[in-house]
Amino acid sequence: MTNTQLPTEAQRFILVCSACHELAAMKPPREWTPAWGSPPPHSHWDGEPLCAVMTRTGYRSAEPMLVET
């Protein structure tokens, strides 16, 4: 009989807004104006859109990024 237990070495990562480093969620923003285009798949944890950042194509929601806890 084997009694091997995998060590819990899996590191925990959290999703944060790459602009302000607040917690981000894998869900669209709670409020979104269609005039801004299609809603991004991520939002701040509280439902606010991720921070707007200037890109070559204009202002867009910041990309979320994974950080180690």
- Residue numbers at the binding site for Zn ion (CB under 5 A): 17, 19-20, 51
Shortest reach from residue 40's CB to Zn ion, in Å? 12
CA distances for 25 relative to 9, 39, 44, 46, 52, angstroms: 24, 14, 6, 8, 16
CB of 56 to Zn ion, least distance (A): 20
Choose between 4 and 33: whose C-beta lies nearer to Zn ion: 33
Could you tell me the smallest distance in angstroms from the CB atom of residue 17 to Zn ion?
Answer: 3
